């Protein structure tokens, strides 16, 4: 039976991938800078192999972010919190979306917006649209109609 990656390892790996892609680096280039194969970088990014502290420090220097960057938005580390499957699944969905080309495109555009006020308004708008979509989907499921996309 294959070992399931730890949610924290998977999150850290996905943040490595996100930052690498945002910088336009290939897995091969990052691997070369670390003295590793691109396959090893791939395993790190998928969470299949755990990234040690010294290696994470090295990666953070190459990708020009503090080591804490890789833990931003990570699922809570306590065993009780990890037992909450909803939190882990929700975090995994966000992490998986951010790693898609659409997620990367959205994030690249968002970070170019310098005004904190404009960024907050965009977040509020997206939260509102998502809430409206959830509300519409609930109404349609209660009426027996299939939800709209």
The residues, any chain, with a CB within 8 Å of residue 15's CB and separated by 6 or more, are 69, 70, 71, 72
pLDDT for 91: 62
* Mean pLDDT across 47-63: 96
Is residue 1 one of the residues assigned to a domain?
Answer: no
Pair (132, 145) in one structural domain:
yes
Are 36 and 15 contained in the same domain?
yes
Q: How far apart are CA 4 and CA 109, in angstroms?
A: 33
Task: Please tell me whether the overall predicted TM-score, pTM, comes out greater than 0.85 for this model.
Answer: no
Q: How many domains does the chain have?
A: 2
pLDDT tens-digit map of 10-42:
889 989 998 998 888 999 999 999 999 999 999
Q: What is the CATH number of the domain that holds 61?
A: 1.10.260.40
Mean pLDDT to the nearest integer, 58-74:
93
Whole domain around residue 126: which residue ranges?
A: 113-149
Instruction: Give domain status of residue 119, yes or no.
Output: yes
On whether both 99 and 120 belong to a single domain, the answer is no
């Amino acid at each position: 039976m294959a070992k399931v990656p730890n949610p924290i390892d998977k999150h850290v790996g996905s943040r490595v991938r996100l930052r690498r892609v945002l910088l336009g680096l290939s897995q091969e280039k990052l691997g070369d800078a670390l003295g590793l194969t691109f396959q090893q970088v791939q395993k790190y990014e998928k969470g299949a192999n755990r990234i040690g502290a010294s290696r994470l420090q090295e990666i953070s220097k190459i990708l020009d972010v503090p080591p804490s960057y890789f833990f931003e938005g990570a699922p809570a580390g306590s065993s009780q919190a990890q037992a909450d499957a909803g939190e882990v699944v929700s975090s995994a969905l966000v992490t998986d979306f951010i790693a898609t080309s659409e997620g990367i495109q959205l994030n690249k555009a968002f970070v170019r917006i310098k005004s904190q006020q404009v960024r907050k308004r965009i977040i509020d708008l997206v939260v509102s649209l998502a809430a409206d979509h959830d509300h519409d989907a609930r109404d349609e499921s209660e009426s027996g109609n299939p939800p709209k996309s």
